[in-house]
Structure 1
Amino acid sequence: MFKKFMAKMGVGSAKVDLMLSKPEYAMNEIVHGTIRVQGGNVEQEMNSIAVELWLQVISKNGQTYTHKITSIPVVSPFIIQANEVKDFPFTYKLPEGLPISAGNVSYHFRTHLDIAGGVDSNDHDAIRILAPAPFYALLEAFARLGFREKHGSGHFDGFKQEFELFPTGLLAGQVQEVEFQAAVEQDGLRILLELDVPSFGREVELKREIFFSHALLEDVDRLAEQLRHIMEETLHQAHLYQSHRMEFEHGHHGHHKSGLGGAIGGFAAGVFGGMLAAEMMDEMVEGAEEAFGGTEGEEEGGFLDGLDFFGDEEDE
């Protein structure tokens, strides 16, 4: 009797553990794992098991905001005996277009074991979501030209995810920073490239949209040479690109659009309905918790330090 009472208080109660096959996954990949329930000191009735995928974003002032992307019901009611171990298979196909794990973005699965008449058990498992292979081929091509990713590259502002590099060889002294957004398409990779160029005490932004075929992306040397040619041409013909102020189509904003789909991070605009971006652009004003449905989804600390990842301005 005493053991049953203590189990209801959470002492000697059943515990849940999500065991994943690996810690890193590509967008659209199927996550495989096993949910293990370890029985406690007494027989207990379980109402259900559900696994939730959470996205965590850290603002430039260090505040942490989380949003539940989905909840996956896994197991219906069952009874577990004292010290019994039950394993349940878990599979989930990740959505396309998620922001990748970089800069101010991280993810975790939260596994919730609902115990009838007792204290529920939870398990948290961090995962990294990676970009498709063509994206990393592009980064390698930049690296071969002497460009290095800046600390905090891959920042996500609620609508889009932007990657930032600085020159250490090619264009050093001519370009302060190279930024790009990426969209994965069926036939290759499309990017919105921006060169930030110093000009008479101010910074000029040169933007152009570029498509790279799969054949080119599979040959990193050729890709690097193509990138070199494109960036040098952009600088030499700066007047053609200085006012080219377009963005990937995010929805729920007033930017000019390039009409591109499949942007990395584009999925999140639909998830948040634009609310996250509005809050971030307003310096995480008071009431942001209500925008995410209450404070339940807000967690202190997190997987990344609170660094200044967000830019200072937004294109009009």
Structure 2
Amino acid sequence: MFKKMFAKMGVGAAKVDLRLNETAYTLGHVIEGAIFIQGGNVQQHINLIDVEFWLEVQMKSGQMHTHRVESLRAASAFTINEGEKKEIPFTYHLPLDLPISASNVSYFFKTHLDIEGGVDSTDRDPVRIKAPESLYQLVEGFETLGFREKRHSGKFNGYKQEFAFFPTDFLKGYVNEVEFEVAIEREGIRMLLELDLPSFGREREIKNELFFTNDELSHPSTIARLLEEAMEEMMENPRDYEYYKPSHYDQHSHHPRMSGLGGAMGGFAAGMLGGLLIENLIDDMFEDSALGEIGEDIEEAGEDLLDGDFFDGGDDW
């Protein structure tokens, strides 16, 4: 009798524990693991088990804005006997348009064991979300041309995640900064490329939307050449790229297509968060780049730039 009374108060009750096979997963991949249920000191009826996937974004005030990405029903009603152990397989397919984990972006799973007539059991498990290899390959193309990552690269602005580089060789003196956002697709990467040009004391922006196939991305020299050709074309005909207007997009073209970048990395979160984060996110929140550790200070164009490395640290970001 006392066992049942204590179990209803949570003492000696059933417990739940989600165990993931890995601590980090790549966008578009399947998260795998298992849910372990440990019976308590008495038999109990379980109404359900839910697993929720949550996104946290740190805001300018230092507060965390948390939003549920997905809620998954892992199990319906069942009975767990005293001391019994149950194991339920768990999988979750990650969307391709989530922002990757970074200094102000984090994720966790929350598992809820709903116990009939008792205190529910919960479990929280953090997980890192990484960029796919194709993004590393794209970045390698920029680095081959002498571009280096800037300090604020990878900033999630509440709508999309943007990456920023500065030239050390190709286009040095002609371009202040290269920025891009990407949409990871099954066939390759769609990218909105922006060049910031100096122009009489103010910056002039020109933009171009490009698509690179997985085959092109797998060859560093090819992707570097395609990037170089695209940027040279933009520099030679800047007026053609000065105004950003939505239009139909042919994904297998390297020619200018000024369309909105639907499905961009971070776009999934934007749909949930709306514009709430725009005025609250810290501009310099990213002490580290989103895809690697910061290198040494570099003084360029009158400002201190921090040279990040997309490939150092690998699974650590």
* Identical pairs, percent: 52
One-letter identity of the residue aligned with 2:268: F
Contact 1:62 1:308 in 2 (8 A): no
Contiguous gaps of at least 5 residues in structure 2: 249-256, 287-317
Residue of structure 1 in register with 2:285 after alignment: 308
Please give the alpha-carbon distance, in whole angstroms, between the structure 2 residues aligned to 1:205 and 1:104: 27
* Residue-pair matches, total: 278
Q: CA distance change for structure 1 residues 166 and 11 in 2, over 3 Å: closer, same or farther?
A: farther
Please give the alpha-carbon distance, in whole angstroms, between the structure 2 residues aligned to 1:213 and 1:71: 33
Residue of structure 2 in register with 1:264 after alignment: 265
Structure-to-structure mapping, 1:231-270, within 5 angstroms: 231-241=231-241, 243-246=242-245, 258-270=259-271
Contiguous gaps of at least 5 residues in structure 1: 250-255, 285-304, 310-316
One-letter identity of the residue aligned with 2:99: P
Structure-to-structure mapping, 1:1-316, within 5 angstroms: 1-102=1-102, 104-241=104-241, 243-246=242-245, 258-270=259-271, 272=272, 276-283=273-280, 308=285
Q: CA RMSD, aligned part only?
A: 2.9
After TM superposition, the runs of 4+ consecutive aligned structure 1 residues lying more than 6 A away are none
Residue of structure 1 in register with 2:293 after alignment: none
Contact 1:44 1:80 in 2 (8 A): yes
Judge which range, 87-96 or 168-177, deviates more: 168-177
Q: CA distance change for structure 1 residues 21 and 45 in 2, over 3 Å: closer, same or farther?
A: same
Please give the alpha-carbon distance, in whole angstroms, between the structure 2 residues aligned to 1:2 and 1:85: 22
Please give the alpha-carbon distance, in whole angstroms, between the structure 2 residues aligned to 1:5 and 1:87: 26
One-letter identity of the residue aligned with 2:179: E
Q: CA distance change for structure 1 residues 60 and 221 in 2, over 3 Å: closer, same or farther?
A: farther
One-letter identity of the residue aligned with 2:183: A
SS class of match (2:275): helix
- Superposed CA deviations along residues 61-115 of structure 1, whole A, max 9, x for unmatched, are 4332111122111112222233322111112222342223245322211111112
Contact 1:103 1:154 in 2 (8 A): no
Judge which range, 11-20 or 77-86, deviates more: 77-86
- How far does residue 51 in structure 1 lie from its aligned partner after superposition? 0.5
Contact 2:159 2:275 in 1 (8 A): no
If the length of structure 1 is used for normalisation, what is the TM-score? 0.76
- Superposed CA deviations along residues 115-152 of structure 1, whole A, max 9, x for unmatched, are 22222111112222333432221012122233333344
Please give the alpha-carbon distance, in whole angstroms, between the structure 1 residues aligned to 2:258 and 2:101: 25
Contact 1:102 1:153 in 2 (8 A): no
Q: CA distance change for structure 1 residues 105 and 205 in 2, over 3 Å: closer, same or farther?
A: same
